Amino acid sequence: MGGQLGSIIAVLLLSGCGVRERIHAGDNYMEAGRYAAAGRAYSKAVDRRRRSSRALEGAAAAWLADGDPEQALFYARRAAAQSDSGLPLLAEVLIDLGRGREAVPLLEEAPKTPDRDRWLAEALLSAGQLDAALTAAGSAEADDAGELAGLIGWLSARQDRDEDAFSIAHRTRGAASPQAQADVAAIFRMLGDDTVISVEAEAHVKQWWASAAWMLETGEHEAALRRFMWLWVADPADGRAARHAGELLVTLGEFDVARRALTDALAVDDTDPAVWQTLARACFALEDWSCSASARSRHLDLSESPTVADWVLGARAWRTAGSMPDLIAMWERAIKRQPDAPTLYYHLSGSLLESKRVDEAIGYARLAWRLAPGDPEVALLLGGLYSSRQEHEAAADIYREALESSPSDSRLHASLNTVLGYIQY
């Protein structure tokens, strides 16, 4: 009996030692950035000791860093079920997976711990509740790495509390945490300050990209914006982050910062028509008509198959900017790309008429009529142009032909009666 008990104790001791070794191995792998290996080590520790909070939390953190959300969430839920101390980790995983809204009620009902209010603030930010997030962050315990300060500064910047945000950013400039560094740099960028902050985040970029993508997919735009801002300041040479930040900033109504982000993105790659289109929207909202029109034109020039409606939007932009030569040049480019679209000839003719280039206007109106015979809009334009040159019989012929396809159009009847009056007179 005694020998049997001794064997059981020996097995248990070896089992316990194996768990500690695997957790230690997981810690070393995490430090080296080998997240998949860390996840496997922690998972094996859990297999040996299913209720080990340390192993469960390690596995969740490792699989999250490796970009495996299902595994991360599996272990995080088990860690939270094991102990209230695991709730902040579960919240962190949910937030990183773009499911921060789900973490809000879990944390609101959880006992207060040093980390709870910090993660509640993060979850509320994900849910778009910025006021509540700032209140929760103000109740959290500060950390030596500066991450809470960075969060409060960012929330202040998003709430138009510029003085508070600047003050926090300047005080936190020397933070050790890459996340805090990124928050500080993002605050300066958000507020239009040229202060340069070095962000040493190479080991975190992969996870930030994964989180940003998940947040974008689930519609947690505030959280996604913060991640893309981190990525933008961490690697300005990668225009993708600036592009995504710019698109979200336009969605959230931050047009001035959006213009800067999109301009940075275009400095890296100016061949994406979608970025030019978003820049056009930002500039339009800022009432910078020239910028809006130029961006809209670049969008059209780079688009594979712009529609007539797209060209019309571009024309409106140049008209608002007050540049008739650019407007006419845009219609000419449109016709070269879509020579069978009568609407484009119609619009170019109208623009030439506005510029008092009547002979050219008649030429393009005739081309529009050739492509769309009987069209009442083209008939009214071409007939009017003929009448302006006293060619009333030619105008009458156009109106009569158009009335064959649109016999109830009162405008055509009125125009025909007018020119017939001139002819009879």
Q: What mean pLDDT comes out for the span 341-363? A: 94
pLDDT of residue 70: 84
Q: What mean pLDDT comes out for the span 345-367? A: 95
The 10 Å CB-count burial string (b at 16+, else e) for 154-169 is bbbbbeebeebbbebb
Q: Coil, strand or helix: which one is 382?
A: helix
Residue with token string 């910025």: 130
Question: 278 or 72: which carries more pLDDT confidence?
Answer: 278
Percent of the chain with pLDDT over 90: 67
List all residues 6 or more positions away from 12 whose beta carbon is below 8 Å from its beta carbon.
none
pLDDT at 6 over 80: no
Q: Coil, strand or helix: which one is 199?
A: coil
Kindly write down the DSSP assignment for every residue of 354-370, as one continuous string.
HTT-HHHHHHHHHHHHH
pLDDT in tens, 89-129: 899 899 999 999 999 999 998 888 778 999 999 999 999 99
Question: What CA–CA distance (Å, rounded) separates 414 from 329?
Answer: 33
Q: Where are the domains of the chain?
A: 340-425
In angstroms, what CA-CA distances link 9 with 17, 21, 44, 51, 298? 12, 18, 21, 19, 75
Q: What mean pLDDT comes out for the span 196-225? A: 92
List all residues 6 or more positions away from 312 whose beta carbon is below 8 Å from its beta carbon.
347
pLDDT in tens, 138-163: 999 888 889 999 999 999 999 999 99
Among 109-113, 169-173, 258-262, name the one with the lowest average pLDDT: 109-113
pLDDT of residue 198: 86
- The full length of the chain comes to 425
Superfamily of structural domain 340-425: Tetratricopeptide repeat domain (1.25.40.10)
pLDDT of residue 13: 40
CA angle in degrees (0–180, nearest 5) for 214-117-119: 15
pTM equals: 0.80
List all residues 6 or more positions away from 245 whose beta carbon is below 8 Å from its beta carbon.
225, 228, 229, 231, 232, 258, 261
Instruction: Quote the DSSP letter at residue 177.
Output: S
pLDDT of residue 8: 38
Q: List the end-to-end C-alpha distance of the chain, in Å, as a whole number.
A: 131
User: Which residue pairs from 42-47 have beta carbons closer than 8 angstroms and sit at least 24 positions apart in sequence?
Assistant: 42/75, 43/71, 43/75, 45/18, 45/19, 46/75, 46/78
For 305-354, give the secondary structure using H, E and C: CCCHHHHHHHHHHHHHHCCHHHHHHHHHHHHHHCCCCHHHHHHHHHHHHH
pLDDT of residue 286: 96
pLDDT of residue 16: 47
Whole-number average pLDDT of the chain: 90
Q: What mean pLDDT comes out for the span 272-288? A: 96
Decide: 364 and 380 in contact? Cβ < 8 Å.
no
pLDDT at 398 over 90: yes
pLDDT of residue 202: 87
Question: What CA–CA distance (Å, rounded) separates 345 from 310?
Answer: 15
pLDDT at 10 over 70: no
pLDDT of residue 425: 65
Largest Cα span, the chain: 131
pLDDT at 196 over 90: no
Band of pLDDT at residue 18, cut at 50, 70 and 90? confident
